[in-house]
């Protein structure tokens, strides 16, 4: 059974004068430990598909099974629990609390999940060390570089040991050198067994993935395996 099973998913938005078909019958499966890039021009439906996969939005029609569970039959509380425990989100804008330390930012999902204080602290420290920020735990976002802030965001995404990491333009606010470092981190996370779904409009970012799904006008235009995913040599 695939980790993600999407069948004939349609998503429409009523814009008053017209009905917009953001997704027009999308079907795809994603297996555990895949590294998938979702691409497409503005308005292609890639952000809508990401929101559906991330349980931030529900389809107008069609089937979405996540870990064998029909997402369309879940209530808001159940969807929130999936988002908190099963999906690690990484956003272009980092979405960190500005007055909180890196450690507290990473602890947040564990607070919502009901972990005790000591357990939260140990888990958050371990994950921050894993992403190379063991010496920056007490720093606040404005005391960190853009790349370090994105690493904090990735640590926060990892802290609940999610089923998938869903990254939306994760290098969009970073310079090219820092972007390379972040993409190398994703390569390492995939090697460790994480399932990664990356939404991007940049070809060089998608080149790291092992599979590229291209959307156009709310439909899948192509779904291809990448023969030689881009990997940087350890420096």
Per-residue pLDDT tens digits for 41-74: 988 999 999 999 999 999 999 999 999 999 989 9
Give the pLDDT confidence score for residue 126 in this predicted structure: 94
Report if residue 167 sits inside a domain.
yes
Assigned token pair, 156:
């926060």
Question: What CATH number corresponds to the domain at position 111?
Answer: 3.40.50.300
Question: What global pTM score does this model have?
Answer: 0.90
Give the pLDDT confidence score for residue 233 in this predicted structure: 57
Report if residue 13 sits inside a domain.
no
Report if residue 119 sits inside a domain.
yes
Number of domains present in the structure of the chain: 1
Report if residue 110 sits inside a domain.
yes
Give the pLDDT confidence score for residue 19 in this predicted structure: 87
Report if residue 18 sits inside a domain.
no
Q: In what order do the strands lie in the sheet with 4-14?
A: 19-30, 4-14, 61-66, 69-70
Q: Residue 183 is part of which domain span?
A: 33-60+78-225
Q: How many C-alpha atoms does 218 have within 13 Å on its Cβ side?
A: 13
Report if residue 207 sits inside a domain.
yes
Give the pLDDT confidence score for residue 200 in this predicted structure: 92
Pick out the chain residues at pLDDT < 70. Answer: 232-235
Report if residue 10 sits inside a domain.
no
d(CA 193, CA 202): 24
Report if residue 118 sits inside a domain.
yes
- Residue whose entry in the numeric block shows the structure tokens 């460790």: 192
């Amino acid at each position: 059974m695939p980790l993600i099973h999407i069948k004939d998913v349609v998503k429409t938005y009523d814009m008053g004068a017209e009905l917009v078909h953001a997704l027009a019958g999308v079907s795809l499966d994603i297996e555990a430990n895949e590294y998938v890039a979702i691409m497409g021009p503005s308005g292609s439906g890639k952000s809508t598909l990401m929101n559906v996969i991330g349980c931030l939005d529900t389809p107008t029609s069609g089937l979405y099974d996540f870990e064998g569970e029909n997402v369309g039959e879940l209530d808001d509380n159940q969807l929130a629990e999936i988002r908190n425990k099963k999906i690690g989100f990484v956003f272009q804008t980092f979405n960190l609390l500005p007055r909180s330390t890196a450690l507290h930012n990473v602890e947040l999902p564990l607070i919502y999940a009901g972990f005790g204080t000591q357990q939260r602290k140990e888990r958050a420290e371990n994950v921050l060390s894993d992403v190379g920020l063991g010496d920056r735990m007490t720093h606040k976002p404005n005391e960190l570089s853009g790349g370090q802030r994105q690493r904090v965001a990735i640590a926060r995404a990892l802290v609940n040991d999610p089923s998938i990491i869903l990254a939306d333009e994760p290098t969009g606010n970073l310079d090219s050198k820092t972007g390379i470092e972040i993409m190398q981190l994703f390569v390492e996370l995939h090697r460790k067994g994480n399932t990664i779904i990356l939404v991007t409009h940049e070809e060089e970012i998608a080149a790291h993935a092992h599979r590229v799904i291209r959307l156009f006008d709310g439909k899948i235009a192509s779904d291809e395996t990448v023969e030689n995913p881009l990997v940087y040599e350890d420096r």
